[in-house]
């Protein structure tokens, strides 16, 4: 199945309760042959209205971070663990994550990125779980900026850009994470890796 066929299925999905309140399914967008894939947690208000990921104030800051890594949106692919907005921007429930999981699995399989950047706690620990990786912590603050080898893909956990809007001190932390991501992409053999496999 091609990515556009998976997206068409997602747009009519009623596998969990989130479908009843959504305005749009926010499937993902960007390059269809990306070296880098970014995975957030779930769409917010602006994303639900516009149908695209990271279009609000967090999206503007994400664009700055991508520049820090020497990337543009045209070169990457962005999606979320959950494709419909949870009410009041709450974290997605476990059943919602499981319902959307096949869509994310197919996106990763078909796009085959070399690097996956997880944005926030939910996406980080969901991805690590998918690859059977236990980092002995549930805190994003302890593993952000690491590079974790998971077979042929490298996973780089980071804070969600929205976190820096509410906690100004995280802006510099995120910029440093993305500067290091830029180095990883340019010189993958010289990047310092933290491996759990």
Q: What is the per-residue pLDDT across 60-89, written as a single tens digit (0 to 9) for each?
A: 999 999 999 999 999 999 999 999 999 998
Q: Are 179 and 69 in contact (CB under 8 A)?
A: yes
Percent of the chain with pLDDT over 90: 82
Q: Are 62 and 18 in contact (CB under 8 A)?
A: no
Query: Per-residue pLDDT for 193 more than 50?
Result: no
Q: What is the pLDDT at residue 148? A: 93
Could you give the angle at which helices 94-111 and 121-130 cross, rounded to 10 degrees? Answer: 70
Q: Which residue has the tokens 């429930």?
A: 93
Q: pLDDT digits over 24-59, tens only?
A: 999 999 999 999 999 999 999 999 999 999 998 999
Q: Which is nearest to 149 in space by CA: 189, 110, 107?
A: 189
From the number of C-beta atoms within 10 Å of its C-beta (0-12, 13-18, 19+), residue 109 rates as exposed
Query: Per-residue pLDDT for 188 more than 80?
Result: no
The model scores a pTM over 0.85? yes
Q: Does domain 3-190 have CATH number 3.40.470.10?
A: yes
Mean of pLDDT over the chain: 92
Q: Where are the domains of the chain?
A: 3-190
Q: What is the pLDDT at residue 195? A: 41
Q: Which residues contact 87 (CB under 8 A, 6 or more apart)?
A: 21
Q: Which residues contact 12 (CB under 8 A, 6 or more apart)?
A: none
Q: Which is nearest to 118 in space by CA: 68, 163, 84, 169?
A: 163
């Amino acid at each position: 199945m091609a990515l556009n066929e998976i997206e068409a299925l997602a747009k009519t999905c009623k596998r969990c309760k989130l479908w009843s309140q959504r305005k749009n399914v926010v499937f993902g967008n960007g390059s269809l042959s990306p070296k880098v894939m970014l995975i957030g947690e779930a769409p917010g208000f602006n994303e639900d209205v516009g149908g695209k990921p990271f279009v609000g104030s967090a999206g503007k800051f994400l664009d700055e971070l991508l520049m820090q890594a020497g990337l543009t949106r045209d070169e990457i692919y962005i999606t979320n663990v959950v494709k419909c907005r949870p009410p009041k921007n709450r974290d997605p429930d476990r059943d919602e994550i499981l319902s959307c999981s096949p869509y994310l699995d197919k996106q990763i399989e078909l796009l085959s990125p070399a690097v996956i950047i997880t944005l926030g706690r939910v996406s980080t620990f969901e991805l690590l779980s998918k690859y059977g990786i236990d980092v002995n912590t549930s805190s994003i603050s302890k593993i952000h900026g690491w590079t974790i080898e998971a077979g042929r893909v490298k996973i780089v956990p980071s804070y969600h850009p929205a976190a820096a809007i509410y906690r100004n001190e995280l802006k510099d932390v995120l910029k440093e994470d993305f500067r290091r991501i830029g180095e990883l992409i340019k010189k993958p053999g010289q990047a310092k890796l933290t491996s759990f496999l």
